[in-house]
Amino acid sequence: MRTRLIVLLHIAIATLLVSNIVYAASPLPVQSVSASSVTVRATPRPQPGGAWAFEIVFDTHSQDLKDDLMKSASLIAGGRTYAPASWQGDPPGGHHRKGTLKFGAIDPQPPEIELRIARPGEPKPRSFLWMLK
């Protein structure tokens, strides 16, 4: 009986610790940049092992969205530039696109990350910056 009580107590403490860690890690905010009649929204999603995923949404009513994010996106972290590992989402074309852009692990975690998306015909890339520390 005493062993069972100790096991239950350990489980309760572990659950409390994990829930406090999850609660303390507030999600990073969605950012949106509108220019040239196109709005791009990016939502960062930290992944296990230091990898990153970003939910990307493009919206417009005036042009086809032909962006190839595997070629036009980059992640700047800790003074280094990282290329995307994958894009899982809508193919080029249309007025509304969404998907997930994934990057490999970054170790150690930098104080900030910046997602850049260079769009065809625009003079400078869209920039999304999040402070991590």
CATH of the domain at 113: 2.60.40.3340
Give bridge partners of residue 77 from the DSSP assignment.
Answer: 80, 113
Task: Answer whether residue 2 is part of any domain.
Answer: no
Task: Answer whether residue 9 is part of any domain.
Answer: no
Q: Torsion angle, CA of 97/127/43/131, rounded to 10 degrees?
A: 180
How many residues does the structure list for the chain?
133
Task: Answer whether residue 92 is part of any domain.
Answer: yes
Task: Answer whether residue 101 is part of any domain.
Answer: yes
Task: Answer whether residue 106 is part of any domain.
Answer: yes
Read off the pTM: 0.79
Cα–Cα distance measured from residue 40 to residue 98, given in angstroms and rounded to the nearest whole number: 10
Residue 25 has a pLDDT of 52
Cα–Cα distance measured from residue 31 to residue 106, given in angstroms and rounded to the nearest whole number: 21
pLDDT tens digit at each of 133 positions of the chain: 655 545 433 454 444 333 333 334 569 999 999 999 999 999 999 999 999 999 999 999 999 899 999 999 999 999 999 999 999 999 999 999 999 999 999 999 999 999 999 999 999 999 999 999 8
Task: Answer whether residue 44 is part of any domain.
Answer: yes
Number of domains in the chain: 1
Residue 20 has a pLDDT of 36
Question: Of 109, 117, 24, which is closest to residue 68 (Cα–Cα)?
Answer: 117
Task: Answer whether residue 1 is part of any domain.
Answer: no
Cα–Cα distance measured from residue 18 to residue 67, given in angstroms and rounded to the nearest whole number: 40
| Structural domain boundaries, residue 64 | 27-131
Task: Answer whether residue 114 is part of any domain.
Answer: yes
Question: Of 82, 13, 7, which is closest to residue 51 (Cα–Cα)?
Answer: 82
**What would the pLDDT profile of 42-67 be if each residue is shown by its tens digit?**
999 999 999 999 999 999 999 989 99
